C-alpha cells in the first residue's frame, strides 16, 4: 500500500506541469495523448488507494469512513485549485502582478499618484515583497521635462524604459509622436534617463533628406542617430522622394551634429528613371549615398536610347553625370 501511495504522489507531481502546459496551449498531439494517459493512470491509482483506505477504516463508523474517503478523493482537486493562491502568497521571484496604488508610488524615479494602475514584480519571501516596474494612469506625470501617462520596463534590457506620451513633444531636439501605437524609449543612466528613441510626430528635413512622419529615430551608443522609415512598418505611409527618387523605404546614420554619414534606400513600386536610364520595378532598386554626394543605384536597368542593360549606375554631380558601374549587391 505504501508503494501505491508513493506512485500516486509521483504521478501527481508529473501531472501538474503537463496540465500547466495544456492550459498555455503548448502541448502537441503526442503531449496531449501522454497527458490523457497520465490522467487515466492517476485516476485509477487514486481510486485503488481510496478503496484501500476504505478497507483500512472498516472498523470505523460508516459516516467517518465515507467522510475520510471523500476527503481523500477530493485532495487532488483541492491541491490544484489551491496551488495558484499559495504560489501568489509565497511571492515567486519574477512573477508579475497588477494592483491599484493606494498612495503615491515611485517607478524609475517618477512619482505616480494614488489610483494609478501599477505593475509589480515579486521578489520572493511573500506577496508583500515586490518592486514596482510599470505604471499607467489617467493623470499626466513628469519624467524630467517629458510629460507621460504610462511607463514600463523592457524585459530584454532592464535599463530601458518605454513611455507613452500624453501629447506630441520635443525631446532632445526631436518631435516625438504620442500615437498610442508608438512608444518613446529612455535608457537609465547613473544620473538621469537618457532619450533613446521615438517616432517623428512631424516631417523633418535633415541634410537635404525629407523624413516623413513616423520615421523611427534611435540614438546609438556612440552618440550617432539612426533613422529608419518604410511604407510596410509605418501605417498610412505613402512613398516619399529623396535625391529625386520615389522610395518605399530608407535608412540613414547621422553624427551627433546631424551630419550625414550613411544613407540607403529601396524603390520597388514603380520604375526608377535616371537620366537616359530606367530601372525596372520588377525587382528592388537599391540606392546608396556615397561620401562626397554621389548616389549608387543598383537593380535591373537599361539605357532607354541604346537598350544597353546595366545593373549599376553612379549618379554624380547632383544628377548632371551618370556613369555605369559594377554591382556590389546580390541580384533581386
| DSSP state letters, 136-158 | EEEEEEEETTEEEEEEEE-SS-T
Q: Are residues 166 and 277 in the same domain?
A: yes
12 SS3 class:
helix
Residue 299 clears pLDDT 70, i.e. is over it: yes
- The domain boundary residue, chosen from 53, 88, 123: 88
CA distance 279 to 16: 61
Over the range 37-61, which residues count as b (16 or more CB within 10 Å of their CB) and which as e?
ebeeebeebbeebbeebeeebeeee
When pLDDT is cut at 50, 70 and 90, the band that residue 222 belongs to is: very high
Q: What is the pLDDT of residue 109?
A: 86
Whether 97 is covered by a domain: the verdict is: no
Q: Are residues 168 and 56 in the same domain?
A: no
Whether 127 is covered by a domain: the verdict is: no
Q: What is the pLDDT of residue 94?
A: 78
Whether 116 is covered by a domain: the verdict is: no
Residue 78 structural domain: 2-88
Whether 102 is covered by a domain: the verdict is: no
Q: Are residues 162 and 277 in the same domain?
A: yes
Q: Are residues 178 and 289 in the same domain?
A: yes
Whether 149 is covered by a domain: the verdict is: no
> In total, how many domains does the chain have?
2
Q: Give me the percent of the chain exceeding a pLDDT of 70.
A: 86
- Range name among 70-79, 100-109, 178-187 with the lowest pLDDT average: 70-79
Residue 255 clears pLDDT 80, i.e. is over it: yes
Whether 244 is covered by a domain: the verdict is: yes
Nearest C-alpha neighbor of 168 from the set 119, 204, 118: 204
CA distance 24 to 204: 45
Residues 6+ apart with CB under 8 A from 313: 274, 277, 279, 296, 297, 298, 301, 322, 323, 324, 325
Residue 211 clears pLDDT 80, i.e. is over it: yes
178 SS3 class:
coil
Q: What is the pLDDT of residue 19?
A: 47
- Range name among 6-20, 60-74, 262-276 with the lowest pLDDT average: 6-20
Q: What is the pLDDT of residue 230?
A: 85
Q: Are residues 313 and 230 in the same domain?
A: yes
Q: What is the pLDDT of residue 195?
A: 95
CA distance 57 to 46: 16
Alpha helix ranges (H) inside the chain: 2-23, 29-56, 62-90
Q: Average pLDDT of 235-259?
A: 84
Q: Are residues 186 and 57 in the same domain?
A: no
Residue 21 clears pLDDT 70, i.e. is over it: no
Whether 16 is covered by a domain: the verdict is: yes
Q: What is the pLDDT of residue 122?
A: 83
- The domain boundary residue, chosen from 40, 70, 88: 88
Is the pLDDT higher at 94 or at 302? 302
- The domain boundary residue, chosen from 88, 105, 124: 88
Residue 246 clears pLDDT 90, i.e. is over it: no
Q: Please report, for residues 109, 134, 187, the alpha-carbon distance to residue 191 in angstroms, rounded to integers and kept in the order given.
A: 11, 20, 11
pTM above 0.85, yes or no: no
Per-residue pLDDT tens for 130-140? 889 999 998 99
Residue 42 clears pLDDT 50, i.e. is over it: yes
Q: Average pLDDT of 123-132?
A: 80
Q: What is the pLDDT of residue 15?
A: 47
Whether 211 is covered by a domain: the verdict is: yes
Amino acid at each position: 500500500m505504501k508503494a501505491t501511495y508513493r506512485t500516486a504522489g509521483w504521478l501527481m507531481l508529473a501531472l501538474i506541469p503537463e496540465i500547466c502546459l495544456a492550459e498555455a496551449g503548448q502541448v502537441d498531439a503526442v503531449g496531449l495523448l501522454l497527458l490523457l494517459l497520465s490522467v487515466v493512470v492517476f485516476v485509477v491509482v487514486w481510486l485503488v488507494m481510496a478503496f484501500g483506505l476504505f478497507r483500512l477504516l472498516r472498523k470505523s463508523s460508516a459516516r467517518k469512513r465515507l467522510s475520510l474517503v471523500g476527503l481523500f478523493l477530493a485532495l487532488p482537486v483541492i491541491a490544484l485549485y489551491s496551488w495558484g493562491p499559495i504560489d501568489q502568497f509565497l511571492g515567486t521571484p519574477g512573477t508579475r502582478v497588477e494592483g491599484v496604488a493606494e498612495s503615491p508610488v515611485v517607478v524609475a524615479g517618477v512619482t505616480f499618484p494614488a489610483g494609478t494602475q501599477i505593475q509589480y514584480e515579486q521578489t520572493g519571501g511573500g506577496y508583500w515583497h515586490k518592486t514596482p516596474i510599470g505604471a499607467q494612469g489617467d493623470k499626466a506625470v513628469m519624467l524630467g521635462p517629458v510629460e507621460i501617462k504610462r511607463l514600463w520596463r523592457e524585459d530584454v534590457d532592464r535599463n530601458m524604459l518605454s513611455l507613452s506620451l500624453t501629447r506630441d513633444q520635443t525631446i532632445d531636439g526631436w518631435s516625438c509622436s504620442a500615437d498610442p501605437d508608438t512608444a518613446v524609449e529612455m535608457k537609465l543612466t547613473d544620473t538621469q534617463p537618457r532619450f533613446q528613441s521615438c517616432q517623428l510626430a512631424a516631417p523633418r528635413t535633415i541634410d537635404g533628406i525629407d523624413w516623413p512622419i513616423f520615421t523611427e529615430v534611435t540614438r546609438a551608443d556612440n552618440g550617432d542617430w539612426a533613422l529608419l522609415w518604410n511604407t510596410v512598418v509605418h501605417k498610412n505611409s505613402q512613398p516619399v522622394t529623396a535625391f529625386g527618387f520615389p522610395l518605399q523605404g530608407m535608412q540613414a546614420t547621422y553624427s551627433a551634429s546631424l551630419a550625414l554619414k550613411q544613407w540607403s534606400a529601396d524603390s520597388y513600386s514603380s520604375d526608377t528613371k535616371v537620366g537616359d536610364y530606367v530601372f525596372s520595378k520588377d525587382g528592388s532598386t537599391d540606392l546608396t549615398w556615397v561620401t562626397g554626394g554621389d548616389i549608387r543605384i543598383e537593380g535591373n536597368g537599361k539605357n532607354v536610347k541604346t537598350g544597353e542593360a546595366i545593373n549599376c549606375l553612379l549618379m554624380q554631380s547632383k544628377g548632371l553625370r551618370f556613369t555605369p558601374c559594377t554591382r556590389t549587391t546580390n541580384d533581386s
